[in-house]
Amino acid sequence: MARRKKEECKTAPAWLTSFSDLMSLLLTFFILLYSMSTLDITKAIKFLSYFQGEKAKSFEQISIVKPIQIYTEDIAKKIKKLIKRLLPVYGYQIVVTQQYVMVRLFNKVLFKKNSVELTPEAKRALDQIAQVIKELKGNYRVRIEGHTSKDEPTVPIKGINDSWDLSILRATTVAKYLISKGVDPRKVVAVGYDAVRPLYTWNNPILQARNRRVEIYLEVAVPKEEKEEKVLIKKREELSSRKKERGEEQKGVSSEKR
């Protein structure tokens, strides 16, 4: 009796391979977006220096004066924890430096289409940001910048003549909302930059859409006594370096006499 041939395993269809590759690329893309939602400027500059053919700079931290009371990194983590549940990952970015925390909100999630009216999601996010600002202590300032793309306004909007008007109105809309939620108006500054400070310069419509944004800067100012202390330390360092240079000059003169 003839034996039956074993059934060979069916090969996966060709489209499945392409589909799995696409899913892997999409996953990588969203992980990248998530990792960029909070950006450390110091680390970013150090990273970019490797690609610019320059020697990577080392950023040494020396604790000479007492630290600033408000820690920007803690503020950034707090804001991110609050708004990541309210906004999609592509709708915001957070940038951190020693001087400020910048919350970048993109137009797609911030305003209704062809309008300067805030979306419900944006209002909930701004409520949380306002709460964080009200809890800040010490000397600080809230600077709100409005930005447009070079092709705006795409449709006529009542009361707006050009992209300068649009950028200013975007900034003031966010500023007024934060003030209405209890933020001290004396601490708030709103400015519009039209399209002169783009994130992307390519003509790709997707990238141009990312230029339409509002940036909220929480600027941390060093208290007056700390500024004076830093100036005093700098003067001492300059004095000591001068003494050292004079000592070396005197040694050189004495060696020449010999």
> What per-residue confidence (pLDDT) applies to 68?
43
Question: Among 220, 222, 219, 217, which Cα is nearest to 94's?
Answer: 217
- State phi, psi for 126 to the nearest 5 degrees: -65, -30
Cα distances from 258 to residues 246, 250, 251, in angstroms, run: 19, 13, 11
**pTM (2 d.p.):** 0.61
> What per-residue confidence (pLDDT) applies to 15?
79
> What per-residue confidence (pLDDT) applies to 99?
85
- Residue 83: count of CB within 10 angstroms of its CB: 24
If 0-12 CB within 10 Å is exposed, 13-18 middle and 19+ buried, where does residue 220 land? buried
Edge-to-edge order in the sheet of strand 100-106: 38-40, 92-96, 100-106, 213-220, 140-147, 188-192
- The residues with which 106 forms a beta bridge, in sequence order, are 213
**Residues 144, 183: contact at Cβ < 8 Å?**
no
CATH fit for domain 33-221, picks 3.30.1330.60, 2.60.410.10, 3.30.565.10, 1.10.8.640: 3.30.1330.60
- pLDDT tens string for the chain (258 positions)? 555 555 555 676 777 788 888 888 888 888 877 766 666 666 666 666 666 554 444 444 433 334 444 468 888 889 999 998 899 988 999 998 888 899 999 998 999 888 889 999 999 999 999 999 998 877 889 999 999 988 887 777 777 888 899 999 999 999 999 999 999 999 999 999 998 999 888 888 888 889 999 999 998 765 454 555 556 667 777 777 776 666 666 665 555 555
Instruction: Break the chain into its structural domains and give their ranges.
Output: 33-221
Dihedral angle at the C-alpha atoms of 173, 114, 204, 202, nearest 10 degrees? -30
> What per-residue confidence (pLDDT) applies to 104?
94
- State phi, psi for 105 to the nearest 5 degrees: -115, 125
